[in-house]
Amino acid sequence: MIRTVAVVVPAHDESACVAACLSAVHRALEHAPVPPEHRHVVVVADGCRDGTASAARLLGAHVVEVPHCGVGAARDVGVRRALALAGGVPADSVWLASTDADTLVPVRWIADQLVHAKAGHDAVAGTVEVTDWSLRSEGLAERFGLRFPVADGHDHVHGANLGVRASAYVDAGGFPDLGSGEDHALVERLTGLGLSVRSPGDLPVRTSARRSFRAPEGFGRLLDTLERGVV
């Protein structure tokens, strides 16, 4: 049974959007079937030069400020802080959820992940939707939909929409220190250990299609390559 939930958000100069992200995260946590004192939000301010850290603190997040280290290391730093906040709660009773600072999670994001956890799954890999395609060229939304069809059992992995049992996370060695692809690497490690990863088609988050993306080979870069017709 999950007794503690922690949401980890890496952020690199995200003062423009971190407040909206955290507001959505807090709404989702309010619907999580765990006591308020066992709900935690950790923001890792990854080499931020703006007001990301102070904005996150104002919204009640635990903030870890680190020199710029990249998204993989930042997510892992956040998880380590989350595990410390969980105190003596056994790792198999702690649920870790990951999202991004330019992302809005739905109100049942945590609650629905915990339904899958209760069913015995060790991780949940959800999908992403784009909030506003107007930042991109005409036709990209259709290409994205064809490239990433949404259905139960999909093979998409996004750090912006990922949940994992803490015991499984530790067994898999955590997020690797990668500038991009740390989410895929973690899921590959989990499946390699024979752990159960659920990929529901009905648990999307909404993220941006911005061109000033943070991870060098992350979601923004993927949209760039789709836009050019490379994939």
Report which of residues 133 and 83 the model is more confident about. 83
Q: Look over the chain and give the mean of its residue pLDDT values, rounded to a whole number.
A: 92
Phi/psi of residue 168, each to 5°? -70, -40
Residue 213 has a pLDDT of 56
- Tally of structural domains, the chain: 1
Q: Ranked by mean pLDDT, which of 70-74, 133-137, 145-149, 165-169 comes out on top? A: 165-169
Domain with 26 in it: what CATH number? 3.90.550.10
Residue 185 has a pLDDT of 98
Residue 5 has a pLDDT of 99
Which range (10-14, 123-127, 132-136, 220-224) has the least confidence? 220-224
Q: How does residue 16 score in pLDDT terms, banded at 50, 70 and 90?
A: very high
Residue 102 has a pLDDT of 93
Q: Domain of 144?
A: 4-227
Residue 148 has a pLDDT of 77
Dist. CA 159–CA 142, nearest whole Å = 22
- Average the pLDDT over 90-105 and give the result: 98
Residue 230 has a pLDDT of 42
List pLDDT tens digits, range 158-214.
Answer: 999 999 999 999 999 999 999 889 999 999 999 999 999 999 999 999 987 555 656
Here the tokens at position 71 are 């998204």
Residue 115 has a pLDDT of 99
Which range (79-88, 98-107, 109-118, 129-138) has the least confidence? 129-138
Q: What is the pTM of this model?
A: 0.90
List pLDDT tens digits, range 199-218.
Answer: 999 999 998 755 565 656 55
